[in-house]
Amino acid sequence: MVTDGLSRDAKRVLVGTCFNAVGNGFVLPFTIIYLHEVRHISLASAGLMFSAAALVGVLVVPIIGTLVDRLGARPVLYATLVLSTAGSLGLATARTPALALVSMLVLGAGNGGSWPASQAFIAALVPAERRSRFFALGFAVLNLGIGLGGLAAAIIVRPGHPGTYELLFVADAVTFVIDGVLLLPVRPRGVGRPEAEPDAPQGSYRLLLSDRVLRRLFTMQFVLVLVGYAQVEAGFPAYLRELGVSPRVVGIGFTFNTLTIVLGQLTVQRRSARVRRTRSLVVVASLWAASWVVLASAWWLPAGARPAVAIVYSIIFAAGEMFFAPTIPSLVNDIAPERLRGRANAASSLCWTGASVVGPVLAGAMIGAGASIAWLVVLIAGCAGAALLALHLERIVPADANLPPEPDDGLQIVLPETTARV
């Protein structure tokens, strides 16, 4: 895939992203099955391993942000790739629960640190006027890769044959190595040790959060993720199961979500290129509110209509994701000064993980107490609040960050023997 307006280095990053996503698709659906059925670790213990890995990922994020600002994004990004590779290989060869736990912790550190490091690396590589396009394309490539990896894994895995599971983790490790090799010739500005600005105060998280624009942006991001992404993996399936909908329908809904993003992301990005980013976030909040309204309608509809509601919900939610994905990282990296860009991306990552911790607890408590409709009302109200926060942010965000100049050139996708312009 080749895109007009992006440098060769940027395209190499996208190819690496695709390989990484395929690797994630290999292991995401099967890790807990592998730990339980192949390594004979109890489901309770396997669940604790997942939680411990996620906790390590949260704890390393502030450290990674500081290291990016002090050492540059490039060496830190490579360190996270090494950790992820070691974690995947460790899981492939772990024969005891202790080794499996250590491997999960190493993998959690690599995955947790990769976000702020990679986002800062991209910000140094891609100029501001191209970032929204790059992040949009990266999101489409990510979903495509995960889908392809999941499909390939479903073909490879054979119950009762441990080697097929081990092969998935080895393949995942190989994708990290491929990503690292692809990035070797990529040396954008600012990926070494950042130069200090004359008379500038030393970088710190306190200095970062003293910027009221970034504070408002992080607050809005937390709210949006809390009432959006954080509810999809826990609340959406739990609500449908309470209505008696088959788990298979949940899987079909996620498939429609991914297909919508893969097919529509580039078109949405192109058509919204001249829309203020804060207005794009209002669109996100509005679409997600609409998706929750649609899902709420299943409560009063006959059982035969509920699977269709789940699919429509998934498509509408995906439409909001297509506006969200390029907007938040572009705003963060355009607003934050370069010497604080690592910490800014780390803070953004913590907003995401923090909301992802609170969201399932909220969903589980309310749905488990029989308050499903009240849960949906809270989400719809939260979306309305996020829209108001976005409109308020518009008053204070710098104009060049809210609507950077976007060259009016098409996004070209080159396939074998054919060229299509989206």
DSSP 320-379: HHHHHHHHHHHHHHHHS-GGGHHHHHHHHHHHHHHHHHHHHHHHHHHHHTT-HHHHHHHH
Mean pLDDT rounded to a whole number for the chain:
84
- Please tell me the predicted confidence (pLDDT) of residue 408: 44
pLDDT band per the 50, 70, 90 thresholds, residue 363: confident
Average pLDDT over residues 47-55: 81
Task: Tell me if residue 419 falls in helix, strand or coil.
Answer: strand
pLDDT band per the 50, 70, 90 thresholds, residue 4: low
Please state, in angstroms and rounded to a whole number, the distance separating the CA atoms of residues 149 and 159: 18
Task: Tell me if residue 193 falls in helix, strand or coil.
Answer: coil
Average pLDDT over residues 175-187: 91
Q: Hey, which bits of 208-253 come out as E strands? A: none
For residue 382, give the amino acid letter: G
- Please tell me the predicted confidence (pLDDT) of residue 354: 83
pLDDT band per the 50, 70, 90 thresholds, residue 112: confident
Average pLDDT over residues 235-244: 84
Choose among 404, 406, 334, 266: nearest CA to 124: 334
Q: Is the per-residue pLDDT at 355 higher than 50?
A: yes
**pTM (two decimals):** 0.77
What is 210-422's CATH number, 1.20.1250.20, 2.70.98.40, 3.30.70.1380, 3.40.50.300? 1.20.1250.20
Are 238 and 291 spatial neighbours (Cβ–Cβ below 8 Å)? Answer: no
The per-residue pLDDT for range 255-290, each reduced to its tens digit, is 888 889 888 888 888 887 778 899 999 999 999 999
Percent of the residues in the chain that have a pLDDT greater than 90, as a whole number: 32
- Domain 1-184 classification at class level: mainly alpha
**R_g over Cα of the chain:** 21
